């Protein structure tokens, strides 16, 4: 049985074009991505294939809730021997990889390293390949990385595949690359690529979060999203991240660096609260509830002083009108709302158990 959100989508796509706003569609799609099922993905596949170019927003539903049967049907309809068929959105490449559909592995690689596609297709193909073994591609991935190593601009998400070369030496090379010539407009893949090295990359990853050179707080470049993704891949909890922030603010560093640390933490917290689906099966949603986060970050430890996150920001920043403080007030309010919804959702179950 399909969900209410899917029925809304089916009605919207079956009605007059433009009768339902793009924002309304996006809300329904988001609900299905977060809470949907395989039945929902099956119900929406035919709708997507009726007009793939105009319904690309449905691809995350297939990537998250589809199975191998759906992957085969999606691949048969959207890709050919030369790559994506005309009019197919690049997100198809990501979805097929995310579903673990190994027959398209070589085709995805051609969209990364060849002339088969655009920058967007290369990005989506890299994210798809991150879910596939790539055993037969190890040498080609390593060669492509070597060609681009040290460049300002490069296929941004190619470094995500470094761990799949099987060469642990690429970890240090990625760090050197990011701390050297790599443009901060193009370093999201380096950030995620370092995180994908797991325990070996954990120290490097936490260092780059707080290093202003990496601009991990960057929303315009998208680096903040991939920094957040890295915390999820590595299983770094908010308590650990917050303790690290406080240690950095207590350290003998300059005011600009401390502001950067607060900005980075705030950017990651914003994504932590929103919990977008990242399209990475190795990056699950945070485990903390809204109530737990609110207690950790926004409650005073004693009545004697404001030692929570907003108070910490006030004590650190020279300008109390700094936008970081405004952002933190907003996030505090969002966590209060999330906590109310969580408690309301739990109440019927608790009542039934009583």
pLDDT digits (tens, 9 = 90+) for 321-344: 899 999 999 999 999 999 998 888
In the prediction, which pLDDT does 273 show?
96
In the prediction, which pLDDT does 353 show?
58
- pLDDT tens track for 75-118: 999 999 888 899 999 999 999 999 999 999 999 999 997 555 68
Q: Is the dihedral of CA 255, 257, 263, 269 positive or negative?
A: negative
Helix (H, G, I), strand (E, B) or coil at 34: helix
Residue 229, token pair as written in the block: 């993704």
C-alpha distances out from residue 156 to 80, 123, 264, Å: 25, 7, 21
With vertex at residue 75, the alpha carbon angle to CA 197 and CA 142, rounded to the nearest 5 degrees, is 30
Neighbours of 185 (CB within 10 A): 15
Burial class of residue 18 (count of CB atoms within 10 Å of its CB; 0-12, 13-18, 19+): exposed
In the prediction, which pLDDT does 114 show?
59
Contact predicate 265/112, CB 8 Å: no
Contact predicate 270/327, CB 8 Å: yes
pTM score: 0.93
Greatest alpha-carbon pair distance for the chain in Å reads 69
In the prediction, which pLDDT does 347 show?
59
Helix (H, G, I), strand (E, B) or coil at 23: helix
In the prediction, which pLDDT does 113 show?
72
DSSP annotation string for 310-331: HHHHHHH-S-TT-HHHHHHHHH
* Residue stretches of the chain with pLDDT short of 70: 1, 18, 114-117, 304-305, 347-354
In the prediction, which pLDDT does 265 show?
98
């Amino acid at each position: 049985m399909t969900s209410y959100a899917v029925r809304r989508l089916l009605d919207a796509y079956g009605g007059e074009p433009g009768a339902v706003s793009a924002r309304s569609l996006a809300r329904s799609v988001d609900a299905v991505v977060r809470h949907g099922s395989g039945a929902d993905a099956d119900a929406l596949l035919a709708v997507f294939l009726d007009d793939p170019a105009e319904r690309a927003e449905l691809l995350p539903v297939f990537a998250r809730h589809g199975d191998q049967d759906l992957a085969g049907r999606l691949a048969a309809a959207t890709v050919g021997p030369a790559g994506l068929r005309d009019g197919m959105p690049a997100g198809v490449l990501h979805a097929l990889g995310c579903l673990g559909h190994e027959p398209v592995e070589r085709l995805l690689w051609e969209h990364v390293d060849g002339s088969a596609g655009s920058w967007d297709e290369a990005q989506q193909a890299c994210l798809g390949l991150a879910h596939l073994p790539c055993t037969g591609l190890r040498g080609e991935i390593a060669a492509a990385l070597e060609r681009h190593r040290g460049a300002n601009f490069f296929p941004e998400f190619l470094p995500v595949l470094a761990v799949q070369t099987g060469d642990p030496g690429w970890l240090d090379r990625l760090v050197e690359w990011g701390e050297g010539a790599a443009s901060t407009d193009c370093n999201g893949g380096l950030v995620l690529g370092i995180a994908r090295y797991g325990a070996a990359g954990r120290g490097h990853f936490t260092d780059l979060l707080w290093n202003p050179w990496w601009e991990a707080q960057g929303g315009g470049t998208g680096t903040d999203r991939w920094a957040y993704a890295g915390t999820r891949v590595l299983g770094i909890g908010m308590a650990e991240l917050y303790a690290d922030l406080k240690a950095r603010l207590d350290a003998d560093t300059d005011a600009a660096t401390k502001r950067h640390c607060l900005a980075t933490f705030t950017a990651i917290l914003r994504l932590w609260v929103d919990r977008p689906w990242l399209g990475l099966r190795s990056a699950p949603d945070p485990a903390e509830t809204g109530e737990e986060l609110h207690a950790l970050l926004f409650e005073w430890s004693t009545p004697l002083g404001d030692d929570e996150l907003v108070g910490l920001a006030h004590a650190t920043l020279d300008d109390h009108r700094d936008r970081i403080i405004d952002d933190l007030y907003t996030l505090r309010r969002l966590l209060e709302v999330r906590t109310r919804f969580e408690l309301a959702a739990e109440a019927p179950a608790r009542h039934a158990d009583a």
